[in-house]
Amino acid sequence: MLDNKFLNKVYNQIMSETKIINDKVYTPFFPLSSFPPPPYSFLPSSFLFHCKEVYCLNEQEIEYVWEKYKKELTDIINEKELC
């Protein structure tokens, strides 16, 4: 069973560690490099590894966090493009 309260905290933490600088996305799971901009059609292995190692999430939990993260990041980037 998913613990959405905990998973939402994980999501919020990953979002807080994500920075967008000069149209490049810097994440805690791709340290020292930029992450390609949306759209994302895959769950990066680095995200999977990060969530397993740092937060001890299982596959289902990782998918939940990834979907939230992907949507929010896509929305932020799309907003920036409209400005």
Q: What is the pLDDT of residues 60-74, one digit of tens each?
A: 999 999 999 989 988
Nearest to 8 by CA among 70, 76, 72, 68: 68
pTM of the model: 0.84
Q: Distance between CA atoms of 42 and 48, rounded to whole angstroms?
A: 11
Give the pLDDT band (50/70/90) at residue 44: confident
